[in-house]
């Protein structure tokens, strides 16, 4: 898996794209939470759920369906001011969904594990992308901090943080350019 830092960073870059009237700081907190929440499945290891099980690591909680359900629930829980099925609500829903689904996408670029169950519960196949430049972060805080943290973070900085920040800046710039026209 990628580190929680990287998952949160990618989600934080979605904040400037919020629909008008949505407060940025609370949105940032929700987006970052949705981006790291899929790793709640590591608790399954404590309860004997095997990695390869649909509810195991990188399974159901990393799926597109799970991200969509979380996005819808979050929109109703935290954004009651956005009228359901309105343009503003769909814009918000898209941001919440992208924050959640970004977790599985990043994990599919890592170099270890069993893959990501993107299509659970409909298909239990696990997927990786053909190109996998990201070093897999150890599971658990003790293993993470006893591992090669600087190397993992540098790898993510090069392959995720810089390109994602550039892409977000370009998209933001294009949006500002067209808003001014």
CB atoms within 10 A of CB 76: 11
Burial environment of residue 124 by CB neighbours within 10 A (0 to 12, 13 to 18, 19 or more) = middle
Quick one: what percent of the chain has pLDDT higher than 90? Answer: 81
**Predicted pLDDT of residue 181:** 58
**Predicted pLDDT of residue 178:** 86
Cα torsion angle, 124, 125, 129, 133, sign: positive
Paired with 117 in beta bridges are none
**Predicted pLDDT of residue 143:** 67
Q: What does pTM read for this prediction?
A: 0.91
The domain locations on the chain are 4-180
**Predicted pLDDT of residue 163:** 97
**Predicted pLDDT of residue 142:** 66
Tokens 């996998």 identify what position? 132
**Predicted pLDDT of residue 136:** 87
102 confidence band (pLDDT: 50, 70, 90): very high
pLDDT tens across 63-91, in order?
999 999 999 999 999 998 888 999 999 99
CB atoms within 10 A of CB 104: 22
Q: What is the mean pLDDT of the chain?
A: 93
CA–CA dist 172, 80 (Å, integer): 26
Chain centroid to Cα 115, Å, comes to 15
pLDDT tens across 7-51, in order?
999 999 999 999 988 999 999 999 999 999 999 999 999 999 999
**Predicted pLDDT of residue 141:** 67
Q: Nearest to residue 153, comparing CAs of 165, 140, 144?
A: 144
Tokens 């430049």 identify what position? 133
**Whether the predicted pLDDT of 103 surpasses 80:** yes
Measured CA to CA in angstroms, residue 2 lies from 73, 139, 157, 160 at distances of 25, 10, 11, 10
CA–CA dist 18, 65 (Å, integer): 22
């Amino acid at each position: 898996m990628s580190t929680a830092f990287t998952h949160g960073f990618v989600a934080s870059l979605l904040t400037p794209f919020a629909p008008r009237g949505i407060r940025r700081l609370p949105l940032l907190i929700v987006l970052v939470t949705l981006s790291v929440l899929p790793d709640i499945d590591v608790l399954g290891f404590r309860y004997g759920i095997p990695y390869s099980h649909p509810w195991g690591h990188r399974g159901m909680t990393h799926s597109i369906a799970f991200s969509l359900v979380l996005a819808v629930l979050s929109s109703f829980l935290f954004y009651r001011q956005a009228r359901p099925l309105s343009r503003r609500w769909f814009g918000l829903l898209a941001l919440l969904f992208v924050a959640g689904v970004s977790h599985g996408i990043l994990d599919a670029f890592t170099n270890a594990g069993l893959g990501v169950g993107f299509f659970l519960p409909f298909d239990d196949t696990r997927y990786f992308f053909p190109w996998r430049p990201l070093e897999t972060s150890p599971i658990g805080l003790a293993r993470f901090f006893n591992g090669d943290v600087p190397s993992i973070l540098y790898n993510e900085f090069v392959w995720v943080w810089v390109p994602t920040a550039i892409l977000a800046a370009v998209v933001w710039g294009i949006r500002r350019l067209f808003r001014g026209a």
